[in-house]
């Protein structure tokens, strides 16, 4: 018997909002093309990257949506007092279904073929998939009987679709987006597991609380911040906005301070007028964000740094980055004025840097492989950045499948012009001057009854009539 596992992540279906929804017509067309090929209905697209369709000979093909397939956080209503529950989740899910009926139809069309099935794994944006009512509504949206074996929801943070393949979303290695203590029990099954009707309320992670309460205005006003490739960390985002929009930095700091165990006033050490001096605003905003991190750490008793993370070096790197950014902003001691060029400072802020959340996920997955020599592959998402790390002399590999959402290249120094800086200040999401580097990536794992798995990282190109290309 031959089997193929297709693993994708971070589709981020929301309510159809042009800014926050990650799954548009471009992604839908590609998914339909991929699933048509995976069902064995289509042989080759016009690009001809593969000589034969391996799916036509596969007895079993499973599509694994590895977390953040749906984006409940980006779907209103917001402000859920640090929790969500079944009624809130169903209200959001109904909006997602209404906006994305072709998605559910494509999945149903795929599993209508014998030997094809779909598995959902939870991510930090769709923990609601562990709610029984949510699962039932998704079955209904696909026109399936409840508990159909063609569609299942993984009740654990990790999934072993094959003996030598390990899959998880990756947020458990992210300080901000690790799920709250008590969500998973000692056997990695949700407390009051999803097949039970007892699980009704979910405590949101600190990162989810921050998104819904504090940073949502940033995502709506400056959506490119969530789409940069490589990803831009939060300290650089704040530095950039201290130049471009100090008012939104002050508002975000105020909202962050409301999330503390004992809320307090934001930016208390700024003298009158200093909020218009970017370096001063940046320093004090970072003091408040550090206080939020410390307060969160005091409440997170289930967090431990992944082994092998160099904490001392990471702290030193963060201090160096802070100093560099403050120095870049220090050229505006009287505040930003229209006739003073900003492109030098903006270019310094946009310079690519190590994305520590991505390093944390990679470290966690490396440790999974090192602790399980029977594994050949560990596959994650969450970071939105494609990655392939061979380890242990190439006998094992960590793969990250990236995201299907829009990705925009960080502007290089030579691309930084006054016009681009002005667009960054007042972005028009319908006319984006940044280079589009979106890749519709997925992992394809082939296995037979008598042999080890073979995994490739692939990209889909050409829409509904396209084909896939193997990246590595």
Residues 300 and 389 in one domain: no
| Residue 252 domain-assigned (yes or no) | yes
Buried b (16+ CB within 10 A) or exposed e, 260-294: eeeeeebbeebeeeebbbbbbbbbbbbebbeebee
Number of Cβ within 10 Å of residue 423's Cβ equals: 17
Q: pLDDT band for 80, please (50, 70, 90 cuts).
A: confident
Q: Which of 326, 354, 382 is the last residue of a domain?
A: 354
Residues 350 and 380 in one domain: no
Mean pLDDT throughout 213-220? 95
What integer pLDDT is reported at residue 104 of this predicted model?
Answer: 98
Write down how long the chain is: 472
With a cut of 60, say whether residue 278 has pLDDT above it.
yes
Residues 139 and 269 in one domain: no
User: 289 in helix, strand or coil?
Assistant: helix
DSSP conformational letter for 144 = -
Q: Which two tokens stand for residue 461?
A: 């190109």
Residues 120 and 10 in one domain: yes
Q: What is the pLDDT of residues 410-467, one digit of tens each?
A: 999 999 999 999 999 999 999 999 999 999 999 999 998 778 999 999 999 999 999 9
Residues 250 and 192 in one domain: no
CA distance 425 to 409: 17
Q: Which of 319, 335, 354 is the last residue of a domain?
A: 354
- Sign (positive/negative) of CA torsion 411, 412, 418, 419? negative
| Residue 284 domain-assigned (yes or no) | yes
Number of Cβ within 10 Å of residue 444's Cβ equals: 20
What integer pLDDT is reported at residue 52 of this predicted model?
Answer: 62
Query: Whole-angstrom distance between the N-terminal and C-terminal Cα of the chain?
Result: 25
Beta strand 165-168 with 158-162: parallel, antiparallel or unpaired?
Answer: antiparallel
Q: Which of 354, 371, 391 is the last residue of a domain?
A: 354
What integer best gives the mean pLDDT of the chain?
91
Q: What domain count does the chain have?
A: 2
What CATH code is carried by the domain that includes residue 29? 3.60.21.10
Residues 7 and 141 in one domain: yes
Residues 347 and 382 in one domain: no
Residues 49 and 149 in one domain: yes
| Residue 423 domain-assigned (yes or no) | no
User: 93 in helix, strand or coil?
Assistant: helix
Residues 105 and 21 in one domain: yes
Residues 65 and 156 in one domain: yes
| Residue 380 domain-assigned (yes or no) | yes
What are the angstrom distances between the C-alpha of 182 and each of 163, 194, 199, 410?
Answer: 28, 14, 12, 38
Q: What is the pLDDT of residues 140-187, one digit of tens each?
A: 999 998 767 899 999 899 999 999 999 999 999 999 999 988 888 655
CA distance 432 to 224: 9
Closest among 157, 194, 228 to 410, alpha carbons compared: 228
| Residue 425 domain-assigned (yes or no) | no
376 and 452 Cβ atoms separated by less than 8 Å: yes
Domain extent for 273: 232-354
426 and 368 Cβ atoms separated by less than 8 Å: no
| Residue 320 domain-assigned (yes or no) | yes
| Residue 216 domain-assigned (yes or no) | no
Q: pLDDT band for 50, please (50, 70, 90 cuts).
A: very low
What integer pLDDT is reported at residue 306 of this predicted model?
Answer: 79
What integer pLDDT is reported at residue 312 of this predicted model?
Answer: 57
């Amino acid at each position: 018997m031959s089997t193929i596992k297709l693993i994708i992540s971070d589709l981020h279906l929301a309510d159809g909002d042009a800014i926050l929804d990650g799954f548009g017509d471009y992604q839908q067309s590609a998914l339909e093309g991929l699933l048509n090929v995976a069902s064995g209905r289509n042989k080759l697209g016009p690009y001809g990257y593969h000589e034969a369709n391996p799916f036509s000979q596969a007895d079993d093909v499973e599509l694994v949506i590895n977390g953040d397939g749906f984006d409940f956080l980006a779907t209103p209503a917001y402000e859920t007092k640090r929790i969500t529950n079944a009624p809130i989740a169903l209200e959001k899910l109904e909006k997602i279904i209404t906006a994305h009926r072709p998605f559910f139809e494509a999945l149903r069309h795929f599993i209508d073929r014998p030997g094809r099935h779909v598995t959902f794994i939870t991510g930090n944006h769709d923990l609601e998939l562990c709610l029984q009512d949510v699962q039932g509504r998704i079955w209904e949206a696909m026109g399936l009987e409840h508990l159909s074996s063609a569609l299942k929801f993984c009740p654990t943070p990790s999934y072993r679709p094959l003996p030598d393949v390990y899959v998880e979303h990756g947020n458990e290695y992210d300080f901000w987006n690790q799920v709250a203590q008590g969500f998973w029990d000692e056997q990695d099954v949700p407390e009051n597991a999803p097949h039970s009707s007892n699980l009704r309320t979910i405590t949101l992670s600190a990162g989810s609380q921050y998104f819904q309460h504090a940073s949502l205005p940033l995502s709506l006003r400056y959506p490119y911040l969530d789409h940069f490739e490589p990803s831009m960390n939060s300290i650089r985002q704040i530095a950039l906005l201290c130049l471009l929009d100090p008012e939104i930095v002050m508002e975000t700091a105020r909202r962050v301070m409301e999330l503390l165990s004992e809320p307090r006033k934001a930016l208390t050490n700024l003298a009158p007028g200093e909020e218009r001096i970017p370096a001063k605003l940046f320093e004090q905003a970072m003091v408040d964000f550090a206080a939020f991190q410390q307060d969160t750490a005091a409440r997170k008793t289930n967090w431990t740094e992944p082994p092998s993370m160099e904490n001392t070096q990471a702290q030193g790197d963060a201090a160096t980055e802070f100093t560099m950014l403050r120095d870049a902003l220090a050229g505006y001691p009287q505040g930003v004025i229209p006739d003073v060029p900003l492109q030098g400072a903006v270019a310094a802020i946009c310079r690519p840097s190590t994305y520590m959340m991505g390093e944390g996920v990679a470290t966690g997955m490396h440790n999974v492989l090192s602790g399980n020599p029977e594994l050949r592959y560990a596959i994650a998402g969450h970071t939105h950045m494609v990655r392939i790390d061979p380890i242990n002399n190439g006998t094992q590999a960590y793969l990250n499948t990236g995201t299907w959402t829009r990705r925009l290249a960080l502007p290089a120094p030579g691309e930084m012009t006054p016009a681009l800086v002005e667009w960054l200040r007042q972005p028009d999401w319908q006319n984006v001057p940044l280079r589009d580097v979106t890749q519709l990536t997925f992992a394809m794992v082939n296995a037979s009854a008598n042999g080890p798995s073979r995994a490739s990282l692939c990209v889909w190109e050409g829409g509904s009539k396209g084909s896939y290309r193997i990246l590595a």
